[in-house]
Amino acid sequence: MTIRLGVLLLMASLTIACTTMGTDSRLADYRHALLAQADKGDAEAQFQLGMTYCCGFDQTRNDVTARIWLCRAALQGQVQAQYQLGRFYDMHAVKWRPRTGTQDIILAYVWYSVAADQGHDMAALYREALTHEMSPRAIEAAEKLKSHWKQKTCSDVSRVAAN
């Protein structure tokens, strides 16, 4: 029950944050400013830029672009980006809005674990929930992939999970 309440509160806060962005020129200006910093490697700007694409509820929403920026930030250690990538790959965690892409519980487990290792409590809860859906072999594969996450690129992580 506590997990569900936490999830509901998180979903409500994300919905409010995302819907207040709007789709007018303010969002375009915000993205432009973030892009300048994100292109220079600023992990926080990359995370924020990814979230602007993740949270669009109209034509500005682009899950592919969101995942690219979130992954770049996550590989630099940005814990919120790591958690959000876990949510992208864990389709069960996002029932309130359809996502494009496929579910990959191994990658969800990896990103939740990386975030949980940095103290992200919700990531730890989601990772724990995933273990009930995963076989011991899948958990072993996820742990192996997680042990090398810092040496990967965003395309490497997707490719390794596909094998």
pLDDT tens column, 105-151: 899 999 999 999 999 999 999 999 999 999 999 999 999 989 887 77
19-58, pLDDT tens digit by residue?
444 456 788 888 889 999 999 999 999 999 999 888 765 5
* CA 18 from centroid of its chain's CA atoms: 15
The total number of structural domains in the chain stands at 1
Instruction: Quote the pTM value.
Output: 0.75
- Which domain, by its residues, includes 129? 2-162
- C-alpha 83: how far from its chain's center? 5
Nearest to 63 by CA among 85, 43, 41, 33: 85
Strands (E), 18-69: none
- Segment 78-118, tens digit of pLDDT: 999 999 999 988 876 554 455 555 678 899 999 999 999 99
Distance, in Å, from the CA atom of 4 to the CA atom of 95, rounded to the nearest integer, reads 13
CB 45 within 8 A of CB 37: yes
pLDDT of residue 21: 46
